[in-house]
Amino acid sequence: MKDVVGTLCATHREIERALACLIRIARESSGGALREPAAFAEGLRFFRVVAPEHSATEEETVFPRLRCAVQPELVRLLDTLEEEHGCADRAHDEADRLGRLWLANGRLSTAETARLTAILEGLSGLYERHIRLEESDVFPSLSLTQ
């Protein structure tokens, strides 16, 4: 389980970096021509492929093990984290749609740019809290189940 937690934490750092890159490029490009289209496309791909795999590993490997510990506060926290995975998935779907539109058309409208930036910044806040809870409260609790 230690290897799984190490991999999950490493992926957290990748999530933070990929999201920061998308936000930076979106802000710098302001809906016009993307300044770093390859990096932007790679960030979108990362969240289409890696993030769902990461969430699945947590929900299928880590969370069930902790639910067996039957600590009510921990179970509520796990429920919240799973709900956040769903919220993040929906936000990523919309960001991906707008991002692909940007890549295909070479620009976004002012409204689309504002929406994409708001989604990405919202995801940044969600991940900041989410990752902190997992790394400070959830992953250390795994030692109690061994």
Cβ contact 30:114 at 8 Å: no
The one-character DSSP state at 143 is G
Per-residue pLDDT reduced to its tens digit, 26-76: 999 999 999 999 999 999 999 999 999 999 999 999 999 888 876 888 999
Q: Is the pTM of this model over 0.75?
A: yes
The HSE-up count of residue 5 (CA atoms within 13 Å, CB side) is: 15
